[in-house]
Chains A and B, each alone.
Chain A
Amino acid sequence: MNSMTVGFAGLTHLGLISAVAAASRGVEVVGFSDDMNLVGAVNHGHFPILEPGLPETFAKYREQLSFTARLEDLAACDVIYIALDVVTDDRGQSDLDPVRSMIANVLKVLRKDALLVVLCQVPPGFTRSLPLASERLFYQVETLVFGNAMERATQPERIILGQSEVQKPIPEALSQFLKTFNCPILPMRYESAELAKISINMCLIASVSVANLMAELCAHLGADWSEIVPALRLDKRIGPYAYLKPGLGISGGNLERDVENVVRLSGMTGSEAGVARAWMTDSRYRKEWPLRQLHREVLAHKPYARIAILGLAYKENTASTKNSPSLVLITQLTKCAIQAYDPAVSLEAGIFPQLETVPDALAACRGADAVVIMTPWPEFARLQPDRIAKEMEGRIVIDPYRMLDPESCHSAGLRQLVLGAQ
């Protein structure tokens, strides 16, 4: 491949991961943000995000990476990706103004022979509305998964590329760059690509919703969802990587945003979106599973109990707490004393007056009437139930993700409540 330079405007989770992944494919990379402090930190290898593999990949390809707060430096790029994370509000609605603003700025410095690729999560119709000639304008679907983003960015299953017309050949510079990822490239019109991103998320939510429903039935009927899952994974129509782990609803903001998009678009076009609304209702119900368990098993007898919360992040390997089930739970435990621990999240003091953060998981369990494992951090799976039992005052462990070994919990005299089994 001839030497080429790829730019990433926006040093967000998406931008940083994508920039480092691009460098790993042999191109020169310019990362831009107007936040000078952020640029300075990143240049020194200090990242505002937690993502396994990021520091190592960054160090390995450091020489190909430059980060700048000068917009003009993007003029050196053959291709510029707009890579801002799209902020969503509590109702899952996107704020696209920062994306539009960034695009307007980048267009000021984009070379006449350079290409622009929108990598952000935008709704159908957004890319085509941009003021740039269609032969230079593209939309690429990102499939960032928090906690696994580096691996997915460097080894994508496929690349979905939106362009003005599906038959048009992909310009040489972009084609060369994309081919370095050694995966299928699927060109389609802008709107299809924008909707492909949403479609992927809808399929994931559908799988998770089914898993949660069936897991709850298992718990009521004496079945065990973990015994059923391998059978489903061997079914070609479902597949080995299907989202079949029961959980506490959907979180993180991105999935919620896409459901909101589907409901909005359906309202606009007169399509039936009842199933998407049902997913959100279901998600809220699942998120409150630990609260219901706590009330039934502990608070009905001891309303002012001491509760240990293990995990604050919305999922493992991230410091994000967006729509985190853990924070949803803590908000409702106003009468309890809470001892919380998370390997990556530190809450500002005073946000929850009833909460005290402690330095490790066992310290959180000390004197607790119940332990609730709200985030499936790998380190929680290494906790010894007998050690937990020794620290605790009570015997209830609410462990939705079944992080602890059931046999060991039983031997330690703990009553372990999990999703998908009695």
Chain B
Amino acid sequence: MINHHWTEPQKPGRVCILGNRGFVAAAVAQALVERGVATQTIGANEINLAGPDAGLQLAGRLRREDVLVFVAARAPSKTIPLFMENLAMAKAVGEAIGQTAPAQVIYISSDAVYRDDLDLVREGDCAHPGSLHGAMHVAREALLQAVYKGLLCVLRPSLLYGATDPHNGYGPNRFMRQVAAGQTITLFGEGEERRDHVWIRDVAEVVYRVIAHRSWGVLNVATGHSFSFREVAEQVVALFEKPVAIQGTPRQNPVMHRHYDSTAGFKAFPDFHYTPLKDGLAQTCLQGMKKL
């Protein structure tokens, strides 16, 4: 579901990343710098995207030949004030790119835009979010599409894991911290839900490739392999010398799985393959989870 403006990859000019301290923004910046790409991160300490005149300020920083990677968000956007703040940020970005029309805009969205009960997710599926967080991303995607007629690429990542994750959400990151601390891993129900977990470095790799090809369209960032939370917990425990218990709890909600049809990814980048969960977890474990 994405197309390449450049069939063969080319070294990009300057890339501006909106966000500098976040999990994704930092990983993308690191990957670009490692490849020698001129990279500029713009954090909230420089421009408060939700503040007055943010659009003008950002426009002053952008050049027509830039690639803009829009990562910044107050996440998860669970309340109305946060929802509105996130839209205000997008409004500022929309004003800025409306004025400067950069060469490419990449928006890091979320798979929360899809219906919660969608078992097999594809890029062509209707965005029908079941949460304010998903609605926020859909609204931002629509806003960007309305104001920017250039090469807009929307990436919708599944669940992410990696050593620098600051959220500690239910899944690999929390499990790893729990095992490192010798704590029991507690599952929701028996951890039956199957999810697609993506290593943060693979997200950065996809973003780099999208930049190098000047790609446009929509692409899910998912491996195509889903694992139950119990399987993930077991894989995490196996990485550590000192095992901990994995404990189920009475189920509160019905089991819902999520799988991805990764065909669009194969078509977009035939020579790129996601790191298998086992290897990604091992790498993360080696790096050591960042303390919260």
Contact = CB atoms under 8 A, between A and B. Distances in A.
Contacts of A299: 266, 270-271, 273
Interface string B125-142: 000000000000000000
B23 to A, nearest CB: 26
A335 B8 CA distance: 12
B186 interface: no
B184 interface: no
A336 to B, nearest CB: 8
B273 A303 contact: yes
Contacts of A335: 270-271
A332 interface: yes
A191 interface: no
Contact of A332 (B122, B261, B267, B271): B267
Interface string A274-317: 00000001000100100110011001100110000000000000
Interface in A335-371: 335-336
Given A292-B262, A295-B266, A304 B273 contact: no
A193 interface: no
B263 interface: yes
A304 B266 contact: no
Contacts of B263: 285, 288, 291-292
Contacts of B270: 295, 299, 303, 332-336
A291 B271 contact: no
A300 B267 contact: no
Nearest to A331: B267
B42 to A, nearest CB: 35
B35 to A, nearest CB: 19
A285 B266 contact: no
B271 A292 contact: no
Interface string B257-277: 000011100110011110000
Interface residues of A, number: 16
A285 B261 contact: yes
Contacts of A295: 262, 266, 270, 273
Contact of B271 (A285, A288, A296, A304): A304
B121 to A, nearest CB: 12
Interface string B221-239: 0001000000000000000
Contacts of B261: 285
B273 A300 contact: yes
B266 A332 contact: yes
A299 B263 CA distance: 13
A302 to B, nearest CB: 10
B223 to A, nearest CB: 10
B279 to A, nearest CB: 12
Contacts of A332: 266-267, 270
Nearest to B267: A332
Nearest to B263: A288
B262 A303 contact: no
Contacts of B262: 292, 295
Contacts of B266: 291-292, 295, 299, 332
Interface string B110-152: 0000000000001010000000000000000000000000000
Contacts of B124: 281
A291 B267 CA distance: 9
Interface string B70-99: 000000000000000000000000000000
Nearest to A303: B271
A131 to B, nearest CB: 43
A395 B178 CA distance: 42
Nearest to B266: A295
Interface in B60-76: none
A304 B271 CA distance: 8
A304 B270 CA distance: 9
Nearest to A304: B271
A377 to B, nearest CB: 26
Interface centre among A295, A300, A336 (most CB of B within 10 A): A295
A288 B224 CA distance: 14
Interface in B203-222: none
Contacts of B272: 303
Contacts of A300: 273
Contacts of A296: 224
Interface string A120-156: 0000000000000000000000000000000000000
22 contacts: A285-B122, A285-B261, A285-B263, A288-B263, A291-B263, A291-B267, A292-B224, A292-B263, A292-B266, A295-B266, A295-B270, A295-B273, A296-B224, A299-B266, A299-B271, A303-B270, A332-B267, A332-B270, A334-B270, A335-B270, A335-B271, A336-B270
Closest 7 CB pairs of A and B: A303-B271, A300-B273, A288-B263, A335-B270, A295-B266, A335-B271, A332-B267
Given A292-B266, A303-B271, A332-B266, 19 more contacts: A281-B124, A291-B266, A291-B267, A292-B224, A292-B262, A295-B270, A295-B273, A296-B224, A299-B266, A299-B270, A299-B273, A300-B273, A303-B273, A304-B271, A332-B267, A332-B270, A334-B270, A335-B270, A336-B270
